[in-house]
Amino acid sequence: MIELDTIDRRLLRELVQDATQPASTLGRKLGLSQPATWRRIRRIYDSGVIKGQRLDLDHDQLGFGVTVFLGVKLATKGRVSIDDFERAVSAIPEVQTVEHILGLYDYRLRVVARDISDFERVLRRRIMMLPGVGDVEANVMLSEERRPGPIG
């Protein structure tokens, strides 16, 4: 596993803020030369600590006013294969994330919709039609914060 020093951690935080910053800009912020910054960035990427890049989009401006977290319990475990459910749910465009969890529910879905009536359409026509779907609990998201995590 890669060991990160204080500068690496600051670099990682910077990349989470904006992954498109050139090495020269990052170097200036951290007081490093451009080649030294570039070597560190490369080491971080090579270690697999950064698994990709994600666009942070303003959902409201793009017309997606509603995000709902759905807890889904499978009704027919064993009979319908979990693979079928996972494949079908992942294919729904409004379903942004699918997580298999242990506890009160089997899956957590993050669903986007234009508004509440659009969400109702997704829920009734898409989610409730999934193979093996049982109890569904919906929580409408009011706010969200992504925290930097333990790299401070």
Binding stretches for another protein (CB under 8 A): 1-2, 4, 12, 15-20, 47-59, 61-62, 64, 69, 86, 89-90, 93-105, 107-108, 110, 112, 137-152
Q: Which is nearer to another protein, 9 or 28 (CB)?
A: 9
Q: How far apart are CA 69 and CA 89, in angstroms?
A: 14
As measured in angstroms, the least distance from the Cβ of 95 to another protein is: 7
CB of 144 to another protein, least distance (A): 5
Contact 68, 140 (CB under 8 A): yes
CB 134 within 8 A of CB 73: yes
Least Å from the CB of residue 62 to another protein: 6
Closest approach of Cβ 84 to another protein, in Å?
12
Give the Cα separation of 59 and 84 in Å (integer): 30
Residue 21 and residue 25: Cα distance in Å, rounded? 6
In the bound state with another protein, the residue whose beta carbon lies nearer, of 128 and 140, is: 140
Number of Cα atoms under 13 Å in the Cβ half of residue 108:
9
